[in-house]
A and B are shown apart, each in its own frame.
Chain A
Amino acid sequence: KAGVTQTPRYLIKTRGQQVTLSCSPISGHRSVSWYQQTPGQGLQFLFEYFSETQRNKGNFPGRFSGRQFSNSRSEMNVSTLELGDSALYLCASSPVQVANTGELFFGEGSRLTVL
């Protein structure tokens, strides 16, 4: 059974640009959550999507957005990139809404560097 797949794995952008990251969950999983991981702040929750609907959102500015498609694949977008957006972005899938299980299966992450 394939795991959670994130693309691209590494990318470099400059301030002001925008970026789109992609996540394919484990087959059959309907929930996709996104996290930002930095050395100083640790893992911070961005949002969760379930059945194409955003279920929860963390405390991030509106520049961070996402969506989920009917096949459960998800994308997140960051517009007007800032230096502080440099981080590892982790996607995690779950068979049901996270609130009902708590078990997250993480992808390898997309490492974003903003210059």
Chain B
Amino acid sequence: QKEVEQNSGPLSVPEGAIASLNCTYSDRGSQSFFWYRQYSGKSPELIMSIYSNGDKEDGRFTAQLNKASQYVSLLIRDSQPSDSATYLCAVMIRNDMRFGAGTRLTVKP
């Protein structure tokens, strides 16, 4: 089992829709979770962090965490074409930042 798993996609949504990105992790002791965005040909950048069970909202982005299910998700409301990118789930496992393979999102005008 991979330490951090994501649906590779690609995921395609129409402009204005909600995009839902999912991630599971293997280490039950993990406490820190992150979402990075990577535009094509660019380097990853941090967009959200979450540490407690529940939801954390930041503008159009909502991160959700369920430690019992070892599940993290990212919701993007009112998706825009500029949101088209690969979204990387990252989990702090044994003091290392471990990344999922990423989900490629395309938002169609």
Contacts and interface: CB of A to CB of B under 8 A. Distances in A.
A89 to B, nearest CB: 11
Interface residues of B, number: 21
Given A41-B101, A42-B102, A103-B49, A56 B43 contact: no
B99 A43 contact: yes
A85 B35 CA distance: 26
A106 B96 contact: no
B34 A99 contact: no
Interface of A: 33, 35, 41-45, 48, 55-56, 58, 90, 97-99, 102-104, 106-109
A98 B43 contact: no
Nearest to B88: A43
Given A43-B88, A107-B43, A109-B43, A102 B98 contact: no
B17 interface: no
Q: Tell which of B42, B45, B96, B102 has the most Cβ of chain A within 10 Å.
A: B96
A64 B96 CA distance: 17
Given A33-B97, A90-B44, A99-B95, 13 more contacts: A35-B99, A41-B101, A42-B101, A42-B102, A43-B44, A97-B95, A98-B92, A98-B96, A99-B92, A102-B90, A103-B46, A104-B46, A109-B43
